[in-house]
């Protein structure tokens, strides 16, 4: 597969503030990295850190914001500037490029519910 087939560009924002986000197909190593990411801020976390954690984990049913940050190369500051509709566009492209990864996440989530 060529490098270009594992990437896609999603334009977010509007007008003069629009910019391109490169969404990538994950390697197996990156899939593992995403799965190991633990955004838990710890017992001594500030209220702001806890709210960030909750939004990171519960904004979307099938993907955390920290997962999107790896898939689209976005840091916390850039993610914070995006709207829900921008994030959904990025997520849709991420799912298109990474169907096996998202399928695995779904199966893992299903297995956890059965315990």
pLDDT band at 2 (very low <50, low <70, confident <90, very high): very low
How does pLDDT run across 82-101, given as a tens digit for each residue? 999 999 999 999 999 999 99
Q: Provide the residue range defining the domain that includes 30.
A: 3-113
pTM, entire model: 0.86
Domain count, the chain: 1
How does pLDDT run across 42-68, given as a tens digit for each residue? 889 999 999 999 999 999 998 999 999
Alpha helices in the chain (DSSP H): 28-36, 47-58, 65-72, 76-80, 84-97, 99-113
């Amino acid at each position: 597969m060529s490098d270009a087939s594992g990437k896609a560009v999603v334009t977010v924002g509007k007008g003069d503030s629009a910019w391109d986000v490169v969404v990538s197909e994950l390697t197996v190593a990156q899939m593992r990295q995403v799965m190991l990411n633990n955004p838990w801020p710890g017992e001594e976390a500030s209220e702001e850190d806890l709210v960030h954690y909750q939004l990171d984990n519960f904004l979307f049913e099938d993907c955390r914001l920290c997962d999107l940050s790896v898939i689209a190369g976005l840091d916390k500051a850039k993610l914070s500037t995006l709207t829900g509709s921008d994030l959904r566009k990025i997520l849709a492209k991420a799912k298109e490029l990474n169907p096996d990864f998202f399928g695995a996440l779904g199966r893992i989530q299903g297995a956890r519910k059965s315990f």
